[in-house]
Amino acid sequence: MTIRPTADAADFDVFDHQVFEQVDQLRTRYRDAAPFPHIVLDGLIDRNLLDVAMTEFPPVDGSEWTSYVHVNERKYGNPHLQTWGPALQQIAEELMSDRFVSHLCRLTGIDGLRADRSMDGGGLHQSFAGGFLNVHADFTSHHTNRMWRRRVNLLLYCNADWRPEYNGDLELWDAGVTTKVASINPNANRIVIFNTDVDSFHGVPDPIACPPGMARQSMALYYFTEESSPISRSTEYRARPGDGAKGILIYLDKKALRVYDVVKRRLGISDAAISRVLKRVRRP
């Protein structure tokens, strides 16, 4: 496969918007999907552009990466668009454009969606061997735009050769977290779009088992609506059936994160700032 240099990223159209001419059929699939409204779209991004973008994921040792490392998750995030390579930026800009957001409104049936350019909790994500994200429903309102209610997630997977034995599937669970309803492999050029309701439970709970030097890579973009008094709740982690004593740790960590979330909102502290402090503390 020939990969063009990164500098040529601007030569590509990101994707063919004509796919959304079938929005009536797509909307029905989205609405009727179990366990909550979602859709999986393969091959939407121009593959040559995506091939370039997958080479642009920077190493996580830079200051632009936030460490999300605690009982309920182990991953790294980079929400700083200006630090990304040009192909990654081009894809993100298109997926946050007015044209694409209008497609999302029609697909989901949610009017007034807006992209979050600050990428609160979103951006580029990488998880290495041993990484995971326990089953959860996402935080419900933006941390700095207080009137913004979180409504829709878009995940673009950027893994060139992801094998089933590496784990890393996105799991979708029912509202009671009693049954796993769907499992979605993070194949390259796969987009998953889903509603972020209070009972939209999902996660990557089994530790990733990819080879050393490899990571599970994705781009996460979130969309909000503006409301007068949105419900504000931190991420709701849940134990799965069979998690046993681990469920106690999941619960205690969730409670601690809930306190942190309140402090973060009141004082305007960012995850990135806390991550920098922790890195200094851990440094020998």
Q: Which domains does the chain have, with CATH numbers?
A: 6-10+23-282 (2.60.120.620)
**First vs last Cα of the chain: how many Å apart?**
43
Query: Per DSSP, which regions of the chain are E strands?
Result: 38-42, 66-70, 73-78, 114-115, 123-127, 132-137, 148-157, 170-173, 180-184, 190-195, 201-204, 216-226, 236-237
**Residue that the structure tokens 């997958």 belong to:** 54
Helix or strand holding residue 108 (H, E) = helix 98-108
Q: Tell me the pTM.
A: 0.90
What is the mean predicted confidence (pLDDT) over 197-219?
Answer: 97
Give CA angle at 217 (212, 222), nearest 5°.
155
pLDDT at residue 279, as a whole number: 47
pLDDT in tens, 139-194: 999 999 999 999 999 999 999 999 999 999 999 999 999 999 999 999 999 999 99
pLDDT digits (tens, 9 = 90+) for 76-114: 999 999 999 999 999 999 999 999 999 999 999 999 999
| pLDDT tier for residue 2 given thresholds of 50, 70 and 90 | very low
| Better pLDDT: 264 or 201 | 201
